[in-house]
Amino acid sequence: MTNASSSRVRRLVVVLAALAASMAFIVSAAAARELFFEETAEAFWAVPHQCADGSTVQGTLLVSSTRDFNAPDTDDPDPTARVQFLAVCPGGFSFSWGAPTAPATITSAENLKSVHTVGGGTARDNLGGTHTVTFDVTWTGVGPIETTVNVPGSKRKERAATATGQVTFDGAVLVDGPNNHPTRPAPFIRVDTEK
* Tens digit of each residue's pLDDT (9 = 90 or more) over 9-18: 555 444 444 4
Residue 181's pLDDT is: 95
pLDDT at 195: 87
Mean pLDDT of the chain: 87
pLDDT digit string, tens, across residues 13-66: 444 444 444 444 443 344 345 689 999 999 999 999 999 999 999 999 999 999
Q: For the chain, how many residues are written? A: 195
Distance CA(69)–CA(66), nearest Å, equals 10
Average of pLDDT values for 115-143? 97
- Mean pLDDT for the stretch of residues 155-173: 97
pLDDT digits (tens, 9 = 90+) for 71-105: 888 889 999 999 999 999 999 899 999 999 999 99
- The pLDDT of residue 115 is 98
Per-residue DSSP letter, 179: -
- Look up residue 77 and give its DSSP letter: S
- Mean pLDDT over 140-165 rounds to 94
CA distance 145 to 140: 13
C-alpha pair distances (Å), 159 with each of 8, 14, 108: 62, 55, 13
Residue of 86, 51, 99 whose CA lies nearest to 184:
86
Beta bridge partners of 66: 40, 80
Burial of 65 (C-beta count, 10 Å sphere; 0-12/13-18/19+) = buried
Give, in order, the Cα–Cα distances in Å from 120 to each of 38, 65, 79, 159, 175: 21, 12, 12, 26, 15
Instruction: Output the pTM of the full model.
Output: 0.80
pLDDT at 10: 57
Q: How far apart are CA 154 and CA 25, in angstroms?
A: 23
- pLDDT bin (cut points 50, 70, 90) of residue 108 is very high
